[in-house]
Structure 1
Amino acid sequence: MRPDEPATPAGTGRPQRRKAVFLDRDSTLTEPRHYPSRPGDLVLQPDVGAALRALQHAGWALVVVTNQSGVARGFLTMNALEVMHERLGVLLAPHRVHLDGIYACPHHLDGTVPDYRGPCPCRKPAPGMLHRAAYDLELDLTRSWTVGDSPCDIAAGRAAGTHTALVGTRPYGGALPDVHCATTAEALHTVLRSHD
């Protein structure tokens, strides 16, 4: 929050909702892996720790929103996914970064696990995970950014009303992002500068 921003919007009596960065996990926050299923599969992208810490220090909420169809496909269980996300917290801790939330969609139409086979309003490009996080964490989507390496990340962010940053060289294949950056660290620094 900037010093000139009111903590409470005039006449509402309610604190101002926080802005957030919604981060895709695989190939955005962490290095690319094909259906990562073990904690050791998670390796942070270069230089993201310092960029995330700067955003956190500036008052941004940090939220992971990730499609995890590996659960529906039987590559890992929900318990294993939870252990992986605990590992993500361990990886970020030396950078003094704490995630405000992790939201994962385990569903897929082609899944082999009956409980997770089928459509889901949370699976990106649908904006369900972002809407849920905004409700749970009292976030202002219009002041927030979605950062990801895929057109579905950009589509989900736009559908939720956030600004969007595409990472890497993948073709857009759909909705255009607000910015296109070579690396996640570059995208995070762009987000930070956009609100200085």
Structure 2
Amino acid sequence: MKTAVFLDRDGVINEVLTERVKFVNKPEQLYFLQGVPEAIKKLNASFDHIFVVTNQGGVGLGFMKESQLQRIHDHMIAVLKKEGATIHEVVYCPHKPKSGCACRKPNSKLIVDLGKKYNVDLSKSYMVGDTDTDIIAGKKAGTKGVFLGKSDPIADAVFPDLISAVEWILQDAKTS
């Protein structure tokens, strides 16, 4: 079986709620957080797949169309590729925040479905996020959880940003 790292998008890969951008509704509003291309490139060297798993309630709320969201993701993948970093697939929940769907994190459907599609051993994989819903979704799916921020009581590890988390993930994957 294969291994993977599942990354949340907003707050892990790109800026959100900053001075430059509130929400990413257009490709030109996507600003990578410091060290993200380098971090993904390092993860690519040790994991079979890197996925983005994101809640995008702005679609369900009418702030953008799915076609706009796809353009944002295509742009993100293309810019990362130019930096030598590969995202294998982006999946998202387009539903409103309180819609009760199975795909919205903290539910684990998006992660579990990718695991089945790509024959991923979820117990040897990682979910990296900046909210408790990301960590809960990963735990429900069977992954380890890496929280980016100050603290999270159920995360396996906590770091300030993705580039800081990479060395721990790589080391932990060797010993697991």
CA distance in 1, matches of 2:113, 2:131: 21
Deviation at 1:98? 1.6
> How far, CA to CA, are the matches of 2:71 and 2:103 in structure 1?
21
Alignment of 1:42-61 (within 5 A): 42-61=30-49
Rounded to whole Å, the distance in 2 between the matches of 1:109 and 1:52 is: 28
Contact kept, 8 Å, 2:130 with 2:149, in 1: the verdict is yes
| Residue 191 of structure 1: aligned partner | 169
With structure 1 as the length reference, what TM-score do the two structures score? 0.82
Q: Which runs of 4+ in 1 moved over 6 A?
A: none
Structure 1 counterpart of 2:145:
164
**Correspondence 1:141-160 to 2 at 5 A:** 141-160=122-141
Q: Give the equivalent residue in structure 2 for 1:77.
A: 65
Which protein has greater RCO, CA pairs closer than 8 Å, 6+ apart? Answer: 2
User: Which residue in the other structure is 2:104 paired with?
Assistant: 123
Indicate whether 1:102 and 2:90 are aligned: yes
Comparing both structures, which one devotes a greater share of its residues to helix?
2
Structure 1 position 45, deviation (Å): 1.2
Gaps of at least 5 residues in structure 2 are: none
SS at match of 1:195: helix
8 Å Cα contact 1:35/1:75 also seen in 2: no
1:116-173 CA-partner distances (Å, limit 9, x unpaired): xx3210100000100111111111100000000000000001000100100012x53x
Is 1:21–1:146's contact at 8 Å kept on the other side of the alignment? yes
Residue deviations 1:51-110 (CA, integer Å, cap 9, x gap): 211211123310000000000111100000000000101220222112111110001255
**Structure 1: which amino acid aligns with 2:71?**
V
Identity %: 29
Q: What's the CA shift for 1:31?
A: 1.3
TM-score, scaled relative to structure 2: 0.91
Choose the corresponding residue for 2:74, options 86, 94, 114. Answer: 86
Query: Partners in 1 of 2:43 and 2:82 — Cα distance?
Result: 16
Instruction: Output the CA distance in 1 between the equivalents of 2:155 and 2:97.
Output: 26
Query: Any conservation in 2 of the 1:51–1:189 contact (CA below 8 Å)?
Result: no
Q: CA deviation at 1:185?
A: 1.0
In the alignment, which residue of structure 2 is the partner of 1:113? none
CA distance in 2: counterparts of 1:177 and 1:154, whole angstroms: 6
Aligned residues: 170
Q: Deviation of residue 183 (structure 1)? A: 1.1
> Aligned to 1:45, what secondary structure does the other structure show?
coil
